Chain A
């Protein structure tokens, strides 16, 4: 031990030096940490966060390069995650007072983050002329309005659809048409199971947005301003049918569906179709080997689908130091025709007429999406959206999870319904 003492001292000194250095570095890092600052020459950096996959990242990178070329005084830093991780990170950042200046947003989160004082009311920027609300299609500019505040600007519109594996449908001799009923749909599911040997659907019973349409067809809705717009017996009906469908094999084996996630069950050839947003066809085409198409939503009365346009939006943080630059950025992203040429229908059909005209799809997948949305407009089935209260996002994940538990045989229908209502009441604070 004695002869080691010198060495030890030296090591200790080194260690102390190292920790001081680390502390020093830490200090520098924090100094640079407030990265949404402006530097001496008036250049401003804004942070832009969004969710999505690699493919979207490539496109967004190109649009930002375009923006920075046009606005050399504004630099954009991006940050992206997959959908569930995005919100965890956002939550933590926003609560720490350091949310991104501008970020992708969706209807289910508007009230939630408005209640938490996170979202910037963009109407002042509209008045100041930094952001234009002209030229939006189908009244989409109203989409991000909550209680008179403008909390989000739509970048694209999409609608619920039945994405189908075309060859399987053809092989089974099923031809879905606008106005088909739920009885037609059930018969089609059986036909596909019998003729193609594949489950007809991947698990519609857990898709909150589809159940919302079904409720709307029956004069109700999933949410009201501050609660649920349906009763326990409504849900009991929906899930009893689901239980039966799983047993009969017309809905895919939930065990296998759970394991293919995040890949979709349709692309994994577990099911012939899935109710989801129409722009997902793009994703399925890159994931799977088959040819995918869009079919209309079944109806209760042969006419009303309950559909509305959904949309991804861009929102700004209330804390941003650069509201003007953020507004200019959003304005560029929703109006600039070249942006639409780059993004395509990745985030839905472009929200403004200028962008819509700029991108005319030539590939069959994007063409099908365009045709589908046009057919909705022509059929006149689109209605205004019903509200999503604060806590809607938690209700959605509870709905998905409990439906899966039911499907896996871990809960009876009664039990599942009871559990969902208990959890929703907590989440909605009602």
Chain B
């Protein structure tokens, strides 16, 4: 790899990014190589240009525009009017906005841990060598593949509605709530159930992590007489903690962004936007309502930026906390 690096400065940069702890010292380059290097750099940028153009046009541009709109009153038709921080103060005073924050935080705080526990539990089961293991892995992963689709959300709505399968099963046990999706307090549970059901992606990552744990550790522990629980607690968990951290981070961010499932289960086409009495009005749904139903793009932009800052804060807290519970094996 060392020789390849001197020929391709662009690739050197890439390696630097992906492996920050492995920084090879820059080797001095002769003039001929330098010229060649410049040509390769140029070629590199040329090949990257579609992506760079895409980034500038489709990501950076809209982001800057939305940051500007966040401080304006903009209804899509008339020119945006600068109103300073009014959008933000209106937002914080709006009880519907406060409700959407509450619903979203609840969803993240309850849904994410259950989903991760489910993923880890199933990964532990699937990590063992069993017959038909490949089938089980595929079967458990399948919901995540199709899970993001609109059709699943529609099926979910049908399952949890009044007099549908869940409701009828409950009635067999004498619990009659009349369907979850019409109850402003229960609808959010059906969304939590939906996200937990899609635990396949973190499960696969957990599986990969579990494979990395050295067998010798378990053997040594067994010799010392450690039981299953003990081994899980003292070996498995610390050893996979970087993977766990990764999953917690990813799933938390992911949960904050819930939209399509809430939008569809809560009403979707033909119904009121997000759940009975705003029961499943998550943050992004309310953002959508303000932007596209009420034509208040300025306010919606402001909401988007508040969400971004909120997620950034949560992420920062998670990174700060990792020092306490994530163990990286030195020199690995």
Binding site for B on A (CB under 8 A): 1-2, 5, 12, 16, 19-20, 23, 81-85, 87-88, 91-92, 94-95, 116-118, 253-262, 394, 397, 400-401, 404-405, 408, 410-411, 419, 427
Contact = CB atoms under 8 A, between A and B. Distances in A.
Contacts of A397: 272, 293
A20 B46 CA distance: 12
B57 to A, nearest CB: 11
22 contacts: A5-B4, A16-B47, A20-B50, A83-B270, A84-B270, A84-B293, A85-B269, A87-B293, A92-B76, A92-B292, A118-B77, A254-B182, A255-B162, A255-B179, A257-B182, A259-B182, A261-B270, A404-B277, A405-B278, A408-B277, A411-B277, A427-B294
B277 A410 contact: yes
A81 B278 CA distance: 24
Nearest to A393: B293
B76 A261 contact: no
A117 B77 contact: yes
B178 A256 contact: yes
B143 interface: no
Contact of B50 (A23, A81, A87, A401): A23
Nearest to A8: B11
A255 B178 contact: yes
A3 to B, nearest CB: 11
Nearest to A206: B272
B277 A261 contact: no
B161 interface: yes
A261 B275 CA distance: 11
Contacts of B178: 253, 255-256
Interface size class for chain B? 20 to 34
Contacts of B95: 419
B25 interface: no
B12 interface: no
Interface in B159-188: 161-162, 178-179, 181-184
Given A84-B270, A261-B270, 10 more contacts: A95-B76, A116-B78, A256-B178, A257-B182, A258-B272, A259-B161, A262-B270, A394-B294, A408-B184, A410-B184
Interface in B271-297: 271-272, 276-278, 292-295
Interface string B260-272: 0000000101111
B65 interface: no
A260 B182 CA distance: 9
B229 interface: no
B77 A259 contact: no
B47 A259 contact: no
B1 interface: yes
Contact of A1 (B4, B271, B276, B292): B4
B45 to A, nearest CB: 12
B91 to A, nearest CB: 13
Contacts of A427: 294
B interface majority secondary structure: loop
B231 to A, nearest CB: 37
Nearest to B181: A259
The interface centre, meaning the residue of A256, A257, A259, A260 with most chain B CB atoms within 10 A of its CB, is: A259
A81 B267 CA distance: 15
A98 to B, nearest CB: 12
B179 A91 contact: no
Nearest to B295: A91
A254 B184 CA distance: 11
Nearest to B294: A394
Contact of B277 (A5, A92, A95, A405): A405
A95 B50 CA distance: 28
A356 to B, nearest CB: 30
Contacts of B272: 258, 261, 397, 400-401, 404
Contacts of A394: 293-294
Nearest to A270: B162
Nearest to A407: B277
Contacts of A83: 270
B179 A259 contact: yes
B4 A261 contact: no
A287 B25 CA distance: 74
Contacts of B183: 255, 408
Nearest to A394: B294
Contacts of A12: 47
A119 to B, nearest CB: 12
A83 B178 CA distance: 28
Interface in B176-206: 178-179, 181-184
Nearest to A401: B272
A401 B181 CA distance: 16
A257 B161 CA distance: 11
A14 to B, nearest CB: 11
A419 B96 CA distance: 10
A107 to B, nearest CB: 19
A116 B77 contact: yes
Given A20-B50, A405-B278, A410-B277, A95 B269 contact: no
Contact of A82 (B50, B182, B269): B269
Contacts of A258: 181-182, 271-272, 276
Contacts of B295: 91, 95
B239 to A, nearest CB: 28
